[in-house]
Amino acid sequence: MRDILAKHGLEVGKVSTGHGEWFEFKVTAVAISLGDNGVNLSSKEATYYSKFGYTAYLGGDNDFTGTQLTAPLGTLFYDGNYAFAGIDSKKKKNTIVAIRIADGKTVLFPESVIPTINHSAEQAGK
């Protein structure tokens, strides 16, 4: 199945099954459009960030000062070990999506990593 989807510029996104008096097998395919550092620019996380951006409120319940995520997709951070890949809007705690460069696995980070990603983007731009 992966080979067939790859021929059409797609990759397997989510696979789920259901059963009871029936059997259900669902495959969600995701378009592939690779950007900097292997980030799929067509993923739902990258699309969400590109359309809406992201602001985190890191100061607590009474602090309404937002920290805006300004780094471009593909920004390397944590000594180049991770590439920023977008925002998972369905998560409440670990919303920041990254790709681990060593093996290409998707990793989720808390909003507290935003200043690190922004700083890495600023350093790369200099």
Q: Are residues 49 and 5 in the same domain?
A: no
Question: What residues form DSSP beta bridges with 123?
Answer: none
Is the Cα dihedral 112, 64, 71, 119 positive or negative? negative
Maximum separation of any 2 CA atoms in the chain, in Å = 61
Q: Are residues 65 and 121 in the same domain?
A: yes
Of 1 and 103, the one with more pLDDT: 103
Q: Are residues 23 and 38 in the same domain?
A: no
Q: Are residues 51 and 96 in the same domain?
A: yes
Q: Are residues 78 and 23 in the same domain?
A: no
pLDDT of residue 14: 82
Q: Are residues 46 and 108 in the same domain?
A: yes
pLDDT of residue 73: 96
Structure tokens at 91: 């998560």
Q: How many domains does the chain have?
A: 2
The pLDDT confidence band at residue 8, using thresholds 50, 70 and 90, is confident
Q: Determine the average pLDDT of the residues in 92-111.
A: 94
68: nearest Cα among 14, 121, 124: 121
- Cβ atoms within 10 Å, residue 124: 14
pLDDT of residue 29: 86
Q: Are residues 52 and 113 in the same domain?
A: yes
- Per-residue DSSP letter, 92: S
83: nearest Cα among 21, 18, 22, 39: 39
Q: Are residues 112 and 53 in the same domain?
A: yes
Q: Are residues 38 and 25 in the same domain?
A: no
- Cβ atoms within 10 Å, residue 45: 24
pLDDT tens-digit series, residues 36-95: 888 989 889 999 999 999 998 877 667 677 889 999 999 999 999 999 999 999 998 999
pLDDT of residue 126: 63
Q: Which domain holds residue 50?
A: 34-125
Q: What does pLDDT average to over the chain?
A: 90
Q: Are residues 91 and 38 in the same domain?
A: yes
Tell me what percent of the residues of the chain surpass a pLDDT of 70: 96
Q: Are residues 54 and 116 in the same domain?
A: yes
- In degrees, to the nearest 5, what angle opens at C-alpha 3 toward C-alphas 15 and 38? 80
